[in-house]
């Protein structure tokens, strides 16, 4: 055992409960993770001792809250190993981070005839903003397909790049297939053509150590709530040279330097992209979550989750009629599957009644579902607080689904 699983589970109050008279088994971690007591306490601490609007006041509480907020930015910077704190923008989630880049990058760089490259395995949040921006600006969205294991083909990607390609926007880890994309190789390839790369890390940061300088990606986005932190928090990392050049996304307080009747000058980074009062309580929780994860060690988390994935894959492979979607060698800890002709929704309903939370449906990846010609999958996504015994319970629940519906 890499860390003490009982001790870890004790940190998560929500996992202690029974549902339908059974202990809750939570396998919907790709949708949102549960929060350790340390995160909940950080929010309480903030409201009981530090609450105030930030960056504005000269009084004690305002300065204390501001210092804590900027300390959180340093924590995030270290967590993803960004070069500067000004490269860390707080947002309300991966979706907002991705919309910010699509909107501002589009305005600054995209002209009719230009091309953006993305992939068929993207979450709608890293697909629709690019699609709509391309439609607005007369550009073309080019979509890279996958092989039978749910992997991207770098030779095909290489053939798609040309002098009109302005950006590659790809997911680090697929929320449906679990595939960990070879993002370092992709960034190297793209940079040979002077093309910047945005990585959607919504499913990356919670499973793998991420070093944005080592990856050399130009943008990296993620949500706090999938990283054991509060809802409504997120991060956009961007290289300073791009963030300096991009126009602001939202306008208002905080993001300005000086406002005149006929024009406005904008604040320096990162504040240029943080208009209005931010989610300070959420950022306090995000900081506590990162401190918690760093204490466990992202390498340890990745190793333990790899064991969970291996165990789940072996056990579920023995179920007759199961078909996996996403069988890459490089996979994060989730399994997406269908059982015979059983609709994923029906399977999910029965599995739920056995106390197990799995996700069913298209997982916000309709282009991928269309390409696979399926309506959706059942997805069990594992976190470091899950156990092999819980996976055994899922296997039993699937046997029950088959009994009832086959």
- Within 8 A by CB and 6+ apart from 194, the residues are none
123 scored as a contact of ligand PMP (CB under 6 A): yes
Question: How far apart, in Å, do the first and last CA atoms of the chain sit?
Answer: 38
Min dist. Cβ of residue 126 to ligand PMP (A): 6
Which CB, 50 or 96, lies closer to ligand PMP? 96
171 scored as a contact of ligand PMP (CB under 6 A): yes
Alpha helices in 26-86 (DSSP H): 37-45, 60-80
Segment near ligand PMP (CB under 6 A), from 80-88, 199-207, 265-273, 331-339? Answer: 199-207
β strands within 182-225, DSSP E: 197-200, 219-223
- Within 8 A by CB and 6+ apart from 317, the residues are 324
CA distances from 73 to 80, 82, 98, 346, 351 (A): 11, 11, 19, 43, 40
- Find the binder of ligand PMP among 34, 66, 126, 279 (CB under 6 A): 126
152 scored as a contact of ligand PMP (CB under 6 A): no
202 scored as a contact of ligand PMP (CB under 6 A): yes
- Find the binder of ligand PMP among 223, 267, 360, 381 (CB under 6 A): 223
99 scored as a contact of ligand PMP (CB under 6 A): no
Give SS3 for 49.
helix
- Total residues contacting ligand PMP (rule CB under 6 A)? 14
Segment near ligand PMP (CB under 6 A), from 185-193, 198-206, 293-301, 333-341? Answer: 198-206
Q: Which token pair is 48?
A: 């009981």
175 scored as a contact of ligand PMP (CB under 6 A): yes
Listed residue (72, 77, 133) closest to 100, CA to CA: 133
200 scored as a contact of ligand PMP (CB under 6 A): yes
Listed residue (403, 385, 398) closest to 333, CA to CA: 385
Q: Which token pair is 146?
A: 């996958």
Q: Which residues pair with 357 in a beta bridge?
A: 26
* C-alpha–C-alpha distance, residues 297 and 290, integer Å: 10
Segment near ligand PMP (CB under 6 A), from 122-130, 148-156, 286-294, 297-305? Answer: 122-130
Segment near ligand PMP (CB under 6 A), from 89-97, 211-219, 266-274, 383-391? Answer: 89-97
Please check whether residue 203 is in contact with residue 122, taking contact to mean a CB–CB distance below 8 angstroms: no
Within positions 362 to 401, which residues make up the interface with ligand PMP, using CB under 6 A?
A: 364
Which CB, 68 or 130, lies closer to ligand PMP? 130
Segment near ligand PMP (CB under 6 A), from 196-204, 246-254, 261-269, 375-383? Answer: 196-204
Catalytic option among 86, 134, 221, 364: 364
Min dist. Cβ of residue 382 to ligand PMP (A): 15
206 scored as a contact of ligand PMP (CB under 6 A): no
- Find the binder of ligand PMP among 36, 93, 106, 129 (CB under 6 A): 93
* C-alpha–C-alpha distance, residues 364 and 174, integer Å: 11
Min dist. Cβ of residue 341 to ligand PMP (A): 27
Chain centroid to CA 373: 25
Which CB, 66 or 206, lies closer to ligand PMP? 206
267 scored as a contact of ligand PMP (CB under 6 A): no
| Residue 364 bears catalytic tag | yes
Q: How many CB atoms lie within 10 A of CB 234?
A: 28
* C-alpha–C-alpha distance, residues 277 and 207, integer Å: 30
Q: Give the residue numbers marked as catalytic.
A: 364
Residues that bind ligand PMP in the complex, under the rule CB under 6 A: 93-95, 123, 125-126, 171, 175, 200, 202-203, 223, 225, 364
């Amino acid at each position: 055992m890499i860390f003490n699983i009982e001790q870890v589970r004790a940190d998560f109050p929500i996992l202690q409960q029974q549902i339908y008279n059974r202990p809750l088994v939570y396998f919907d971690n790709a949708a949102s993770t549960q929060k350790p007591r340390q995160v909940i306490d950080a929010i309480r601490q903030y409201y009981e001792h530090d609450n105030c609007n930030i960056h504005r006041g000269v009084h004690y509480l305002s300065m204390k809250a501001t210092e804590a907020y900027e300390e959180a930015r340093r924590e995030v910077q270290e967590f993803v190993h960004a070069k500067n704190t000004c490269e860390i923008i707080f947002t309300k989630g991966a979706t907002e981070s991705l919309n910010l880049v699509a909107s501002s990058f589009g305005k600054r760089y995209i002209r009719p005839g230009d091309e953006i490259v993305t992939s068929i395995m993207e979450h709608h949040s890293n697909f629709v903003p690019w699609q709509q921006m391309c439609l607005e600006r007369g550009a073309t969205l080019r979509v890279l397909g996958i092989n039978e294991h749910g992997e991207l083909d770098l030779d095909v990607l290489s053939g798609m790049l040309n002098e009109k390609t302005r950006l590659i926007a790809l997911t680090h880890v697929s929320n449906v297939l679990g595939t960990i994309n070879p993002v370092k190789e992709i960034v190297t390839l793209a940079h040979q053509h002077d093309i910047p790369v945005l990585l959607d890390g919504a499913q990356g940061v919670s499973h793998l150590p991420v070093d944005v300088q080592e990856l050399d990606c130009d943008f990296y986005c993620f949500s706090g709530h999938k990283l054991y932190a509060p809802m409504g928090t997120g991060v956009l990392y961007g290289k300073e040279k791009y963030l300096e050049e991009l126009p602001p996304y939202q306008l208002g307080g905080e993001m300005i330097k000086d406002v005149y009747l006929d024009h406005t000058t904008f604040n320096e980074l990162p504040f240029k992209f943080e208009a209005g009062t931010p989610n300070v309580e959420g950022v306090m929780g995000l900081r506590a979550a990162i401190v918690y994860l760093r204490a466990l060690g992202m390498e340890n988390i990745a190793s333990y989750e790899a064991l969970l994935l291996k165990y789940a894959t072996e056990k579920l492979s023995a179920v007759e009629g199961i078909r996996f979607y996403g069988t890459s060698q490089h996979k994060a800890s989730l399994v997406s599957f269908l059982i015979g002709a059983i609709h994923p929704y029906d399977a999910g309903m029965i599995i739920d009644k056995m106390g197990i939370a799995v996700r069913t449906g298209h997982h916000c990846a309709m282009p991928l579902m269309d390409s696979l010609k399926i309506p959706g999958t059942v997805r069990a996504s594992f976190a470091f607080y899950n156990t092999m015994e819980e996976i055994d319970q899922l296997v039993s629940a699937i046997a029950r689904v088959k009994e009832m519906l086959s």
